[in-house]
Structure 1
Amino acid sequence: MKAVLPDSKIPKRWYNILPDLPEPLAPPLDPETDEPMEPEKLLRIFAEELVKQEMSTERYIEIPRKVRELYAKIGRPTPLFRATNLEKALGTPARIYFKYEGATVTGSHKINTALAQAYYAKEQGIEKLITETGAGQWGTALSLAGALLGLKARVYMARASYAQKPYRKTIMRLYGAEVYPSPSERTEIGRRFLREDPNHPGGLGIAISEAIEDVLRDGNARYALGSVLNHVLMHQTVIGLEAMEQMREFEEPDVIIGCVGGGSNFAGLAYPFVKEVLEGKADYKFIAVEPRAAPTMTRGVYRYDFGDSGGYTPKMKMHTLGHTYYVPPIHAGGLRYHGLAPTLSVLINHGVVTPVAYHQNDVFRAAELFTRTEGIIPAPESAHAVKGAIGQAIRAKAEEREEVILFNLSGHGLLDLKGYEDYLDGKLEDYEPEHFPALGG
């Protein structure tokens, strides 16, 4: 069972959750003064239109026609499937649906915001976009967006993933991007981390610092971000807007699930449904799934912190493990992040979203079952949502109740097979970190 929409159903507007949040976001702070950040200072880092969108209180923002045309070119609208074989294997009365973002040409949801950010940069006359990437899905997406819109791209890829996922960097290079392992020798912050540990596995926080440092020394470049900030999460809401339309062909969901690193793929599916809950029109349950090795939602604290490891970004009030947290080298590289989207942090604080955390071996076991029943190999990041959906379906079975579960399968794992090989060979390590800088120990 599946629902496929025609190109004419590609959403014409993104949903902006800011005006509907239970409380206003705390303002970002200038890292030099600790005072609220002046928007003008962000213009040296981001394209101007993105800064406007970040601050906008408009509930809906129009998607430019060119971006919608590019969405159609890369595979939007994406299909929605019912996981009937998985349901049978679990023996559950629950009905499980998933929105499959792996159907895009780059294999993940990240292309949704990459095209938007590249479009606005091109319109402004910017020549180059510089970014970070964890597992490589975001770097891949921005590399293609740059190629389609005539922009140069440079990507700092977390060193652990650079080694674990060599074909990701090959694809980025085929799309015309430069790719460097992070920490690298190209930046002062990269050299600092390498002096401390020549074998440092890197992480999104360090790669963000390197990208921003690089941007600040190149007047023709701007930074592109793959998650966390509101404009990025907003661009991803095409996922949920499509899913709402598709689920009308079947039934209303009861539970909506996504994995979380910074928050973009969870928000992309969930935020249009969250709007209905905040307006009192529905009572959906939301589950956000993270790795136990980077338990930002379940063990982090809500306070101001840098979004990067080097202290270059504005300080944001969010759930954080501390920007100096040494994230273990799990295979879900896109979830190896110390912080969380401020908007998602607010929703967790108000009990709208429930976070859970799992070890990577449990996640890979769930992914193996999903692969054998549904035929799709999930990305290690997306497999966290699979694990969350299976756990919810098993609870429904134990309680002998029907339930409709919808989750975001945000990417395929065909370029992540080293992680699956390690899992099948019994070589995956489960990490139970104890030192969180944000907690003081």
Structure 2
Amino acid sequence: MLPECGHTFCRECLLNLQTTAVVCPNCRQRHYSPAVEDLAVNFAQLGIAVALSNIQKSKDQGQCGKHSLPLDLWCSVSQKEICAMCYFEETKRTQHRVLTLAEKRQFTVDAIKQKSLILSQLYAMLKQCLTSDSESTCQNSYAKKLSDILRGEELGILPSSSIDKRLDSLKKVMFPAEQERRSSSRESRQETERSDDSRGSRETERPDKMQLRCVAKCEKGRKARLTWEEGQLHIYGLCKDPEEAHITLNMSDVRLLVPQENPTVFLDVADRDGPFGRITIKVWSHLRRGQQFLALCQGHLGPTLKGSAFLDVTETAGIDCLRAGRYLTENGTSSHALLDRLEWNDGHERPGRKGLVAGWSFKKAEDETLFGIALGECHIKFCCPFGEVVAGMAVVEDIAYNRTVRDVTVVEVGTAVREFAAS
């Protein structure tokens, strides 16, 4: 506080103004002594400033609707922010675990890292299982342990101890002990010898190699086949699948492996002469049209594009487009929207280019799943494209120009997941 006029300022500002004298910024009164470092502190005004700062922080944090106090605590049971009075009235009595918001944020960061590590281990195990044959320990060991670890569980935010236990189990599955391998090998040889003895022969026969069948099952009982193709995990679309599997995982766990940003889907196509190719599309999933298309390739909203036929080749904006998007239902084909609030214009337009995948209908809910794949280049903008062909463009052109379009159907759909690395 300046002694001559009584006006109060922060010390840093006065230090910047100090020369031979300090000129009050408010009334221009000159002060020659004492030095700024020795000026008295206006504790009353300092208290007001601190109080106002706390009020602002409370506004930023939000206020408790019941007590009008800042929401600066987190209840781990009710999963919501609470104030100090809520803690004393309710949470302390029920002995719920309470964290400060800073502790909760750190806990969330740690949990995300731990979940990422678990998912990377899951991906590595699936790779090892799906590329192994029946002679390995995979069928004897991995199948049971994978099922034991993941059956009925969600890969949500878990306590550290639970994650440690699951990681230990994953490591045992990933790196079975040498003794277990020798024991399994010894049992296999003994079984072979007994079988040979029953046939009167001591010759050891090499069993046929057989890849393990692995599926992911959703709550409604539909299954998605898991395979390892072209160096990637492939998750086929959910469907009714009565065939037994060696390993059954929760679809909710497996879907966490699919990247949230620009996932890759595939469409296997065939005509009356049989399968002839695969179209791979990168989906821009930040758009709701992209999310709808992804759902039609995964099946988690019900229908998929499996079994659907291509429609025709239509010219738009001076270039040809191959159209598709009608899915099968119990009552026939449909192209009714699976999601609402689908984008169209509003800044989502892009210049047409070869391989672009774009929506084909606007505000017609009965045709909102139709899409077209551009077969050429143009400068006219397409309304809300939601993906692009990244492999198999030659297959798209083959369908459009060399085959009867309506005879070509999608025989399989799914998602391709590249190597999952822990962040």
TM range (shorter): under 0.3
- Which structure's CA Rg is the greater one? 2
Q: Which has the higher contact order (CA 8 A, sep 6+)?
A: 1
The structure with the largest strand share of the pair is 2
Higher helix share: 1
TM-score, with length taken from structure 2: 0.21
